[in-house]
C-alpha cells in the first residue's frame, strides 16, 4: 500500500463480534444460510459441473453460465467463518461444526483444483460446453468475473487457514490470464470483479504484477474496447446459439439503445476519467469502482480517486434510495437518470448494495472521510439486511420500496448472485467496524465487539458494548498494553443531531451536531491506558423528505430513527396503506415490540423498536352507500359514491405502526411502503 | 316501441344548435374533421378495398380487417351533417359544401353497393382475402360488427335523405345474416354493434324480424357460444396464418386467462341476466348494453332493463373515471376490477366514452331517470371531447388522466375506430339535448339551440340561450302554437348544489339542491303559451375526492366546475406538476382566459374559464447544494442533498392554473394531471 491511503483495514481475526443485534444475524448466516446455500450448490448442479469438468465430460452444464462464481462466493464466506477463531464466544463456531465445515471446504477446493486445466484455465461452462471458444466473448461469458471470485475465495481461504492450495489454483489462473492479456484477452471484462480480486491477490502474494493487470483492465474500459466488436462477430463467439442467438445476442438489449451500441451498461461508454455520472448495471459499477479504488490505493493515482469521489457524489445526491439501495431499473439492473427513483419498481439489487459497501469501505480507507463509513451503516442496516429473511433461507434479489403485496423473498434464483453475496458480507462484518490510521484507530460502526490490534506501537484492546441501533448508548472500554498517545476517531453519524461523548465521565463533546447532516469524526487524542468512553447518539424519530425532483415522493416522508429506515406493512396496519397520511404535527412514539420478535423467532430482534405514529385517513362512513350521497331512489339499490365533493367527506385520526425496513416481508404477505403521505 | 319507454328521442332535424361553446366544435367537425377523415379513408386504402372488391380482384386488402366500418361510420357522420337542414344558421352547412358532400356520399354509397355480393354478403376483407371462410370466425373477424355499422350508416342516410339505396344494401345484408343465423352463424358476434343497429333497422323499416335477430344475438351471448369452439379449431377458421397464427390466435391473450378460456373479454362469461359487474372490452360492453337497452325497449323486457341498471351502478360507482372514461387497462382495452382506476395508464378509450353516451341515452329513454342524461353531460364534456384536438385533426385513442409529457394525440391510427366515432357523435349532438315524454318535454343538455316539435297535441318551439358551461345562466323561451298544458322537465345536474329556476320572473325553484349529488328533473307543469324560463345553476369550483379504495388518489383532489373536470398542464405551470399541493383552505378563483382561446384558434373557446388555485410547493432553496445541508468540505464539490429531515426543509406558496381537461395537449407538450395532491 502506498501512502495514498489514510486508513488500513484490520484483520478479520483481530475483531470478535458479540452484539445483541448482530449475533443472531451472524449465527443464522453461519448455521442456517451457509448450510442452506451449500445444499443449493449441490441441487442446482453447480458442484456437479465441477465434478464433470474434472472427469473430462463434455456437455450438460447446469445453471447460469457463470454458476462457478456461486461456489467461489460460498468458499469465500465459509473461509470467513473459519477465520473467526473465537470458538468460545457466543457468536463463535463450535468445534465440531468447525471441523465439519473445514472438511466440506477442503472437498470443494479439491474439486475446484481438479477441474483446473493443465494450462491454468478454469471455467466449467467452457470446459463442458465450448472448450474451443475461451476468451472469445469477454462481454457476456464472465470468465474473468468467475476468475475474480475464485481469487477472492482463494485469498480468504489462505488468510483463514494459511493453506495455499486454493491460492495456488487462483494464482495459476491469474497468470494464465496475465499471459494472454495482450493477445486473446485484449479487452476488459464485461462484468467487473477481477480488478478488485487481483489487488487482493497482489496484497497476499506481494506480487505487483497483479496490480498492473488490474490497472490494465481499468484503463481499457471505455477505450475502444472489445464489446462492440464482439457484437459484430456475434455468430463466432462463445454463447451464440444458431437457433435463437443465445447468451451472445441476449445482451443486445442492454448494450444497444435505439439500435446504436452503448457501452454504458458495463461502464464502457467512455474512459473512467471522463465519466461524470454513475451509469449502467449497478453491481458492475460498484465492483468496478471498488477495483478502481484498490488500484488507486496501490498506485497513488489521485486522479482516479478524485473521479471516484465525483461519481460517489452523483450517486448519493441523485441516484440512491434512502435505504442505500441503487439501480432503479429492472431492465439492465441499472442506474437510469438523476432523480429517477421509483418506489414500486425500485430494483435496488441486494448485490448492488453489497457492492456499494465494498466501494465505500475502500473510499473511506483512501480518504479517512466519515461520509463513506456513514453510508456503509445506512446501506448495511437497510439495503443489505433486507436482502435476507430473518430465518436465513429466503432472499430478495430486488429490494422494492413499496409493494402492493405481491413481492416476496424467494428461496433461490436461477441467477443466484445475491444470496451468497449476503453470506460473505455477514461472515466478514468484522472488517467494517474498525480501521487503523498511522497514529489512530477509527471506530466506524457501533457493534458490540472487541478488537485487539496495535496502534502507535502498543497493543490496544478496545471493547464496545451497545444495544445499537435500538438504543442510543455505546460504551467503549480502551485498554492498552502500555500507556500510549493516539487518536480515537469516533464516527458521529449523519443522522445524529445531538451527540454526547464522555471520557472517564468528562464530557469531550456535547450538544448539537454541527455537521448538519454530514457524518464526521470526533477525534479524541490523549494518552490511553485503561479508559472508558461513553457515547450517546440521540435517536429521535426523523421524518425524512426527498428532493422534490423525485415527483413520486413529493408530499411523502420516510420515517427514520438512527440508521434505520422504517416502513409500514399490512401486518401492523388495517387499512390499505395508501389511505394513511402521517400527521407530523401529532405524536410519533417509539415502542419496544417483543411480540414482533417472538413472531419472527430471531434472536437478533430481541428488542426491536417500532414506531407508532399519528395519522389521518378517510372516514369510510363518508363513502358508504346509505348516507345521503349514495342511494338512488329510483332503482332502490345501494350505490356507494365513487366521487364526492371534498366538503362532503371527512377524515379520522388513526395510529400507524412502522417497522424497520429490513424486517419487511417476514410475516403475512401484504402491502409495504417506505414513503408515506404526510399531512 | 312498446310502452316500456318513458321518453322518446327527437328527430335530428327538429333541433338546430346555435351555441357559443358547441358551434366551433360542430363546425370544425363538419368542415375539417369530416374532410380530413375522408382523406384518411382514401389514403389508408379503405375505399380502395371497396373498389377492388367490386371489380372482383383478390388479395391485397389494406388496413385492419374491419376497416370497412371506418367508411360506414364516416357515411353515418356525413348523413347527420346532411340531415342538418338549417343551411342559414351560423352552425349550418353552406349550399355548395352541401352539394359537394352529397356527391361524395353518393359516390361512396355506389362503391359500397357495387361491392355487395349477389347473395347480399358484404365485407371487403373476406371478398379479397378469404372468400371461402365467411362466418367461420365470429369471434375476431368482425363481419357482424361491420354489418352493424353499415346498417347504422344506412338508417342515418335514409333518414337524412329519404334515399333508400344504402338502406337496401343494408337490408339485403341483414336478411342474408337472418337467413343463416341458425346455421353458419350459430353464434354471437365477437364485437357487438349489430344488435343496436338491427333495432334501428327495425324501427326505420317497421320490420319486427330485425328486433328478433338482435334479441337472438343478445340471448346467445354467454350461453355455450361459439367463441371457445372457434379457438379449438383455430387452424381452420378465418384470420388464421400458418406462419404466426395471425388474427385468429392473437385474440388468445384477451380470451384466455392462465391458459383457461374466459369469455369476459366479449361479455360472454355468462348470460347477461347473471352478470353482476361490467366486464371485458369496454367498447364491446357499451355497444352491447346499448343494444340490449334497444331490445328491452322493443320487447318490454323489464328483466333486461333491471340488469342494465345494476350493471350501470357497478360501472358508475366502481369502474369509471371522473371524466366518464371507462376501461382501465390497455391490455384488452377493458374493465378490470372494482376501484382499479390508475391515472397514468388509464385507457379510457374515446370509443368507450362514446359508447357510454349511446347506452346512457337509451337508459334515459327507458326510465326517464335524470342520472343517465347527467352522465352523458359529464362524459361528453370530458371523456369524449378530449378525444379530438381543437383543430379537429388529431385524436386520442386512450385518454390518460395523468401524463409525464409523452402522451399525445395522433393524426390517425391503424385501428381507426375512434376518430370517426367522435365525428358521428358531434354530427348528431342534436339527438341528446331534448326528448319527448307522453305529455312532457325533457331538457337534458344545456346547449344553445331551438327545437320545433309537438307536445300534447300542439306545436311547440323551445329556444335555449346560454354560454354554458362557462357560465351558469340558461334562458329558455317557450312558444306554443296554441296554449297547451304539459310538463317541462329540466335536468338539474348532479354537480349543482344551488339551482334557481324562474318562469316569467316567478321563482319556481330556489336554493339548495336537495338531491345531494344526484341529478334530478325539476318538473314545471303549466299551460304554456309564450313564456320565458330563466335557470341559474350555480357553478362553484368544487374539489372532488375519489373513493379511498382507489389508493392512488388518496390525498388528491380533482378540480371541477359545473360539468367540467379540470387539469393542470405544464403549459400553465412552471414546476413539475407533482411538486404542487393544492391549498384547499386558500383561494380558488375562476378567470376568463382569452389568451388561451387565441392560442388555440378555436372559436369554441371564445370564453374559456380557467381556475387559479392557491397551492404550496417545496421551497427549492431548501434543496440547493450551497445551503448548510449540502456541500461537502472535504471534496470541495457541490452536492445537493437528496434526503433531508422534514424540519430542515420548507415550502412556499404558489398559484397553479387549471384548464378544462378536454383542452389538454393542445399546446406545447408537457405534463398533465387531473388528480392533484391537496394540503
- Say how many CA atoms lie within 13 Å of B49 toward its Cβ: 24
Which residue in chain B has the smallest CA separation from A580? B554
Decide if B258 touches A, using CB distance below 8 A: no
Q: To the nearest whole number, what is the mean pLDDT of chain B?
A: 92
The span from the CA of B575 to the CA of B652, in Å, is 13
User: What is the H or E stretch that residue B490 is in?
Assistant: strand B473-492
Is A522:A473 a contact under the CB 8 Å cutoff? no
Residue with cell 449475533: A23
Is B549 close to A576, i.e. CB distance below 8 A?
A: yes
Q: Which of B306, B554, B643 sits opposite A546 (nearest CB)?
A: B643
Please tell me the predicted confidence (pLDDT) of residue B635: 45
Q: How confident is the model at residue B626 (pLDDT cuts 50, 70, 90)?
A: low
* Residue B244 confidence (pLDDT) above 50: yes
What integer is the mean pLDDT of B232-254?
89
Q: How confident is the model at residue B518 (pLDDT cuts 50, 70, 90)?
A: confident
Q: Which of A318, A628, A649 sits opposite B516 (nearest CB)?
A: A628
* Residue A627 confidence (pLDDT) above 60: no
The span from the CA of A577 to the CA of A568, in Å, is 7
Please identify among residues 464-503 of chain A the ones whose CB lies closer than 8 Å to any CB of chain B. Answer: 497
Go through B432-469 and write b for each residue having 16 or more CB atoms within 10 A of its CB, e for each that does not. Answer: bbbbbbeebbbbbbbbbbbbbbebbeeebebbbbbbbb
Q: Which of A313, A579, A628 sits opposite B551 (nearest CB)?
A: A579
* Residue A602 confidence (pLDDT) above 70: no
Helix boundaries (H) for B452-528: none
A376-A378-A382 Cα angle (round to 5): 115
Q: How confident is the model at residue B637 (pLDDT cuts 50, 70, 90)?
A: low
* Residue B644 confidence (pLDDT) above 60: yes
Pairing relation of β-strands B473-492 and B440-443? Answer: parallel
Please tell me the predicted confidence (pLDDT) of residue B513: 59
pLDDT digits (tens, 9 = 90+) for B164-208: 999 999 999 999 999 999 999 999 999 999 999 999 999 999 999
Pairing relation of β-strands B651-660 and B564-569? Answer: antiparallel
Contacts of A316 in chain B (CB under 8 A): 639, 642
What integer is the mean pLDDT of B358-376?
97
What integer is the mean pLDDT of B301-305?
95
Contacts of A632 in chain B (CB under 8 A): 313, 371, 518
Is A371 close to B557, i.e. CB distance below 8 A?
A: no
Is A330:A347 a contact under the CB 8 Å cutoff? yes
* Residue B604 confidence (pLDDT) above 90: no
The 8-class DSSP code of residue B31 comes to I
Min Cα separation A99/chain B (Å): 48
pLDDT digits (tens, 9 = 90+) for A165-211: 999 999 999 999 999 999 999 999 999 999 999 999 999 999 999 99
Decide if A242 touches B, using CB distance below 8 A: no
Please tell me the predicted confidence (pLDDT) of residue A414: 83
Q: Which of A306, A542, A576 sits opposite B645 (nearest CB)?
A: A542
Residue with cell 462463445: A238
Q: How confident is the model at residue A86 (pLDDT cuts 50, 70, 90)?
A: low
* Residue A493 confidence (pLDDT) above 80: yes
* Residue A426 confidence (pLDDT) above 80: yes
Q: How confident is the model at residue A593 (pLDDT cuts 50, 70, 90)?
A: confident
Please identify among residues 628-657 of chain A the ones whose CB lies closer than 8 Å to any CB of chain B. Answer: 628-629, 632, 634-635, 637, 639-646, 648-649
Is A634 close to B371, i.e. CB distance below 8 A?
A: yes
Q: Which of B555, B634, B645 sits opposite A677 (nearest CB)?
A: B555
Contacts of B558 in chain A (CB under 8 A): 643
Percent of chain A's residues with pLDDT above 70: 94
The span from the CA of B270 to the CA of B409, in Å, is 36
Pairing relation of β-strands B581-582 and B564-569? Answer: unpaired
Burial of A404 (0-12, 13-18, 19+ CB in 10 A): middle
What's the grid cell of residue A94? 463450535
The span from the CA of A191 to the CA of A177, in Å, is 16
Is B367 close to A542, i.e. CB distance below 8 A?
A: no
Contacts of A307 in chain B (CB under 8 A): none
Is B623 close to A548, i.e. CB distance below 8 A?
A: yes
Helix boundaries (H) for B85-142: 95-115, 124-128
Helix boundaries (H) for A57-193: 68-83, 95-115, 124-128, 143-161, 165-180
Please tell me the predicted confidence (pLDDT) of residue B595: 81
Closest CA to A64 of A226, A231, A250: A250
Percent of chain B's residues with pLDDT above 90: 83
Closest CA to B315 of B260, B344, B261, B355: B355
Q: Which of B309, B552, B640 sits opposite A578 (nearest CB)?
A: B552
Residue with cell 425524512: A544
What integer is the mean pLDDT of A384-406?
95
The span from the CA of B77 to the CA of B581, in Å, is 43
Min Cα separation B173/chain A (Å): 39
Burial of B110 (0-12, 13-18, 19+ CB in 10 A): middle
Encode B337-366 in three state secondary structure.
CCCCCCCCCCCCEHHHHHHHHHHHHHHHHH
Is A543 close to B645, i.e. CB distance below 8 A?
A: yes
pLDDT digits (tens, 9 = 90+) for B430-455: 999 999 998 999 999 999 999 999 99
Question: Going by C-beta distance under 8 Å and a sequence separation of 6 or more, which residues neighbour residue B255?
Answer: B139, B227, B231, B261, B262, B263, B265, B266
pLDDT digits (tens, 9 = 90+) for B529-561: 999 999 999 999 999 999 999 999 999 999 999
Question: Going by C-beta distance under 8 Å and a sequence separation of 6 or more, which residues neighbour residue A485?
Answer: A439, A456, A525, A526, A527, A528
Please tell me the predicted confidence (pLDDT) of residue A224: 76
Cβ atoms within 10 A of the Cβ of B98, count? 16
Is B643 close to A322, i.e. CB distance below 8 A?
A: yes
The 8-class DSSP code of residue B630 comes to T
Helices A282-299 and A194-205 pack at an angle, to 10 degrees, of 30
Please identify among residues 358-397 of chain A the ones whose CB lies closer than 8 Å to any CB of chain B. Answer: 367, 369, 371
The 8-class DSSP code of residue B508 comes to E
Is A203:A209 a contact under the CB 8 Å cutoff? no
Please tell me the predicted confidence (pLDDT) of residue B631: 39
CA A65 to centroid of chain Cα atoms: 23
The span from the CA of A444 to the CA of A492, in Å, is 9
* List of E strands, A445-540: 449-455, 458-466, 473-492, 499-503, 506-509, 520-537
Closest CA to B367 of B549, B212, B520: B520
- B250 vs A130, higher pLDDT: A130
* Residue A88 confidence (pLDDT) above 70: no
Which residue in chain A has the smallest CA separation from B308? A635
Percent of chain B's residues with pLDDT above 70: 94
What integer is the mean pLDDT of B59-77?
96
Q: Which of A584, A641, A645 sits opposite B317 (nearest CB)?
A: A641
Question: Going by C-beta distance under 8 Å and a sequence separation of 6 or more, which residues neighbour residue B338?
Answer: B277, B314, B318, B319, B549
Please identify among residues 325-354 of chain A the ones whose CB lies closer than 8 Å to any CB of chain B. Answer: none
Closest CA to A290 of A216, A356, A211: A356
Helices B282-299 and B302-318 pack at an angle, to 10 degrees, of 150
The span from the CA of B416 to the CA of A315, in Å, is 46
Is A544 close to B648, i.e. CB distance below 8 A?
A: no
pLDDT digits (tens, 9 = 90+) for A503-522: 999 998 876 655 567 899 99
pLDDT digits (tens, 9 = 90+) for A260-294: 889 999 999 999 999 999 999 999 999 999 999 99
Q: Which of B322, B552, B577 sits opposite A643 (nearest CB)?
A: B322
User: Looking at A328-332, A412-416, B32-36, B278-282, which range is the least confident one?
Assistant: A412-416
pLDDT digits (tens, 9 = 90+) for A8-49: 999 989 999 999 999 999 999 999 999 999 999 999 999 999
Is A645 close to B517, i.e. CB distance below 8 A?
A: yes
* Residue A527 confidence (pLDDT) above 90: yes
Contacts of A313 in chain B (CB under 8 A): 632, 635, 637, 639
The span from the CA of B611 to the CA of B566, in Å, is 8
* Residue A604 confidence (pLDDT) above 70: no
Contacts of A678 in chain B (CB under 8 A): 646
Q: Which of B629, B649, B677 sits opposite A516 (nearest CB)?
A: B629
CA B469 to centroid of chain Cα atoms: 18
Q: To the nearest whole number, what is the mean pLDDT of chain A?
A: 92
Is A551 close to B317, i.e. CB distance below 8 A?
A: no
Percent of chain A's residues with pLDDT above 90: 83
Is A463:A450 a contact under the CB 8 Å cutoff? yes
The 8-class DSSP code of residue A255 comes to H
- Write down the ipTM of this complex: 0.95
Upstream peptide bond of A441 is cis (omega within 30 degrees of 0): no
What's the grid cell of residue A442? 477509527
What's the grid cell of residue A38? 451449500
Instruction: For chain B, list the domains and their CATH numbers.
Output: 8-431 (1.50.10.10), 433-537 (2.60.40), 541-677 (no CATH)
Please tell me the predicted confidence (pLDDT) of residue B649: 95
The span from the CA of B300 to the CA of B599, in Å, is 51
Is B679:B654 a contact under the CB 8 Å cutoff? no
What integer is the mean pLDDT of B127-146?
96
Q: How confident is the model at residue A634 (pLDDT cuts 50, 70, 90)?
A: very low
Min Cα separation B535/chain A (Å): 23
Is B542 close to A576, i.e. CB distance below 8 A?
A: no
Please tell me the predicted confidence (pLDDT) of residue B516: 64
Q: How confident is the model at residue A314 (pLDDT cuts 50, 70, 90)?
A: very high
Q: Which of A335, A370, A548, A558 to mutate to test the interface with B (most CBs of B within 10 A)?
A: A548
Which residue in chain B has the smallest CA separation from A367? B634
Q: Which of A517, A548, A632 sits opposite B629 (nearest CB)?
A: A517
The span from the CA of B178 to the CA of B160, in Å, is 26
Please tell me the predicted confidence (pLDDT) of residue B639: 84
Is B644 close to A577, i.e. CB distance below 8 A?
A: no
Amino acid at each position: 500500500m502506498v501512502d495514498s491511503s489514510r486508513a488500513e483495514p484490520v484483520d478479520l481475526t483481530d475483531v470478535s463480534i458479540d452484539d445483541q443485534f448482530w449475533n443472531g444475524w451472524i449465527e443464522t448466516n453461519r448455521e442456517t444460510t451457509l448450510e442452506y446455500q451449500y445444499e443449493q450448490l449441490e441441487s442446482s448442479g453447480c458442484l456437479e459441473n465441477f465434478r464433470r469438468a474434472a472427469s473430462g465430460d463434455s456437455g450438460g452444464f447446469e445453471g447460469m453460465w457463470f454458476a462457478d462464481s456461486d461456489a467461489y462466493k460460498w468458499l469465500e464466506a465459509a473461509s470467513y467463518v473459519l477465520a473467526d477463531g473465537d470458538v468460545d464466544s457466543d457468536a463463535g463456531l463450535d468445534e465440531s461444526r468447525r471441523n465439519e465445515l473445514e472438511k466440506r471446504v477442503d472437498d470443494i477446493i479439491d474439486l475446484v483444483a481438479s477441474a483446473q486445466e493443465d494450462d491454468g484455465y478454469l471455467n466449467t461452462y467452457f470446459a463442458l460446453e465450448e472448450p474451443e471458444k475461451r476468451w472469445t466473448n469477454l462481454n457476456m461469458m464472465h470468465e474473468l468475473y468467475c476468475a475474480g471470485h475464485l481469487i477472492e475465495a482463494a485469498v480468504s481461504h489462505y488468510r483463514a487457514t494459511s493453506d495455499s492450495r486454493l491460492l495456488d489454483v487462483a494464482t495459476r489462473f491469474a497468470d494464465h490470464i496475465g499471459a494472454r492479456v495482450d493477445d486473446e484477452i485484449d479487452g476488459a471484462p464485461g462484468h467487473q470483479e477481477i480488478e478488485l480480486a487481483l489487488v487482493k491477490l497482489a496484497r497476499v502474494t506481494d506480487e505487483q504484477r497483479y496490480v498492473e493487470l488490474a490497472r490494465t483492465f481499468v484503463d481499457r474500459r471505455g477505450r475502444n474496447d472489445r464489446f462492440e466488436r464482439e457484437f459484430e462477430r456475434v455468430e463466432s463467439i462463445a454463447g451464440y446459439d444458431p437457433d435463437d442467438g443465445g447468451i451472445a445476442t441476449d445482451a443486445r438489449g442492454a448494450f444497444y439503445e435505439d439500435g446504436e451500441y452503448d457501452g454504458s451498461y458495463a461502464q464502457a461508454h467512455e474512459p473512467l476519467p471522463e465519466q461524470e455520472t454513475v451509469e449502467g448495471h449497478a453491481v458492475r459499477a460498484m465492483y468496478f469502482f471498488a477495483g478502481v479504488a484498490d488500484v488507486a490505493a496501490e498506485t497513488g493515482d489521485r486522479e482516479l480517486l478524485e473521479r471516484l469521489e465525483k461519481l460517489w457524489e452523483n450517486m448519493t445526491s441523485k441516484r440512491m434510495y434512502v435505504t442505500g439501495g441503487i439501480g432503479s431499473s429492472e431492465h439492465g439492473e441499472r442506474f437510469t437518470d438523476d432523480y429517477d427513483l421509483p418506489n414500486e419498481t425500485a430494483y435496488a439489487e441486494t448485490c448492488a448494495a453489497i457492492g456499494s459497501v465494498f466501494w465505500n469501505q475502500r473510499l473511506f480507507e483512501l480518504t479517512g472521510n466519515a461520509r463513506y463509513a456513514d453510508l456503509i451503516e445506512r446501506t448495511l442496516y437497510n439495503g443489505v439486511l433486507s436482502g435476507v429473511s430473518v430465518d436465513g433461507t429466503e432472499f430478495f434479489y430486488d429490494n422494492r420500496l413499496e409493494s402492493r403485496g405481491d413481492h416476496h423473498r424467494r428461496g433461490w434464483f436461477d441467477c443466484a448472485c445475491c444470496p451468497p453475496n449476503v453470506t460473505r458480507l455477514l461472515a466478514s462484518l468484522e472488517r467494517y467496524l474498525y480501521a487503523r490510521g498511522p497514529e489512530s484507530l477509527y471506530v466506524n460502526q457501533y457493534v458490540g465487539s472487541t478488537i485487539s490490534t496495535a496502534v502507535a506501537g502498543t497493543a490496544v484492546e478496545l471493547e464496545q458494548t451497545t444495544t445499537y441501533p435500538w438504543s442510543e448508548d455505546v460504551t467503549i472500554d480502551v485498554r492498552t498494553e502500555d500507556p500510549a498517545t493516539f487518536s480515537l476517531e469516533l464516527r458521529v453519524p449523519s443522522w445524529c443531531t445531538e451527540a454526547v461523548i464522555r471520557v472517564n465521565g468528562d464530557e469531550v463533546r456535547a450538544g448539537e451536531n454541527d455537521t448538519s447532516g454530514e457524518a464526521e469524526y470526533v477525534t479524541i487524542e490523549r494518552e490511553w491506558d485503561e479508559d472508558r468512553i461513553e457515547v450517546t447518539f440521540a435517536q429521535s424519530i426523523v421524518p425524512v423528505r426527498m428532493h422534490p425532483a423525485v415527483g413520486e415522493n413529493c408530499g411523502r416522508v420516510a420515517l427514520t430513527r438512527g440508521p434505520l429506515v422504517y416502513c409500514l406493512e399490512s401486518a401492523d396496519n388495517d387499512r390499505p396503506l395508501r389511505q394513511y397520511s402521517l400527521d407530523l404535527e401529532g405524536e410519533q412514539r417509539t415502542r419496544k415490540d417483543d411480540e414482533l420478535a417472538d413472531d419472527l423467532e430471531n434472536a437478533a430482534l430481541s428488542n426491536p423498536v417500532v414506531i407508532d405514529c399519528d395519522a389521518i385517513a378517510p372516514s369510510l362512513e363518508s363513502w358508504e352507500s346509505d348516507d345521503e350521497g349514495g342511494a338512488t331512489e329510483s332503482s332502490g339499490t345501494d350505490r356507494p359514491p365513487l366521487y364526492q365533493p371534498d366538503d362532503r367527506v371527512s377524515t379520522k385520526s388513526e395510529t400507524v405502526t412502522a417497522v424497520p425496513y429490513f424486517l419487511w416481508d417476514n410475516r403475512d404477505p401484504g402491502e409495504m411502503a417506505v414513503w408515506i403521505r404526510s399531512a
